[in-house]
């Protein structure tokens, strides 16, 4: 059933894209329109064709959430309302609508709504970065102020409570001392001691 629906949808989209609006066909054949009602009817049919073509183009574009975009057409003007999650997608929708035959202007009223999930993720990342900076500062303070580590050259890197020590120390005992000084700082979950022992610093 799902396969049949997909085939049907693809067929309808294809027909929309390749079939010209009736008013265009009438104009091409130079058939006179006898009544104003006929003109109005053909105008409505033409507008609906353009709207359907734009809807189909949005549906086929994988970068747009077509369900959040509403399209209406008034003569040669397409009006876009609804929401997209970036300014790029707003511009993309406008250009797609403008590419449809018979559309000369686009009134783009789409609202750009930032992705709340991304905002939450970014906020968490900022908070974590600050926590890493604070933790690194605490460890550096302990290492730099300890009298037995004055001759050592130690670099500290922290990420989510995991600390890496790199650099040089004059002896194995100083290397171990640096490890435990860092390990005992509140907030440290683990310490990867990459310090190298060098007798001459």
Closest CA to 128 of 157, 169, 97, 159: 159
Q: Are 158 and 136 in contact (CB under 8 A)?
A: yes
Give exposure, 10-49, as e/b (b: 16+ Cβ within 10 Å): eeebeebeeeebbbeebeeeeeeeeeeeeeeebeeebbeb
162: confidence class by pLDDT, cuts 50, 70, 90:
very high
Domains annotated on the chain, with CATH: 2-112 (no CATH), 117-197 (3.30.1340)
How would DSSP label each residue in 183-201?
HTSTT--EEEEEEEE-S--
Give residue 92's pLDDT: 84
- pTM for this predicted structure: 0.44
27: confidence class by pLDDT, cuts 50, 70, 90:
very low
pLDDT exceeds 70 at position 62: yes
């Amino acid at each position: 059933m799902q396969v049949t629906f997909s085939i049907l949808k693809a067929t309808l989209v294809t027909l929309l894209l390749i079939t010209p609006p009736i008013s265009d066909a009438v104009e091409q054949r130079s058939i006179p329109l006898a009544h104003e009602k006929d003109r109005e009817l053909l105008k409505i049919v033409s507008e609906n064709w353009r709207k359907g073509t734009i809807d189909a183009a949005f549906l086929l574009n994988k970068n747009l959430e077509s369900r959040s975009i509403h399209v209406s057409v008034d003569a040669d003007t397409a009006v876009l309302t609804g929401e997209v999650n970036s300014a790029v997608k707003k511009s993309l929708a406008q250009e797609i609508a403008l590419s449809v035959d018979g559309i000369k202007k686009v009134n783009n009223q789409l609202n750009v709504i930032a992705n709340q999930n991304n905002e939450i993720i970014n906020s968490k990342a900022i908070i974590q970065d600050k926590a890493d900076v604070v933790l690194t500062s605490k460890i550096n303070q302990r290492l730099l102020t300890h009298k037995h580590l004055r001759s050592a050259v130690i670099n500290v890197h922290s990420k989510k409570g995991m600390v890496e020590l790199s650099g040089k120390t004059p002896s194995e005992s100083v290397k171990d001392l640096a490890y435990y000084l860092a390990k005992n700082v509140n907030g440290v979950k683990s310490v990867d001691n990459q310090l190298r022992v060098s007798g001459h610093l």
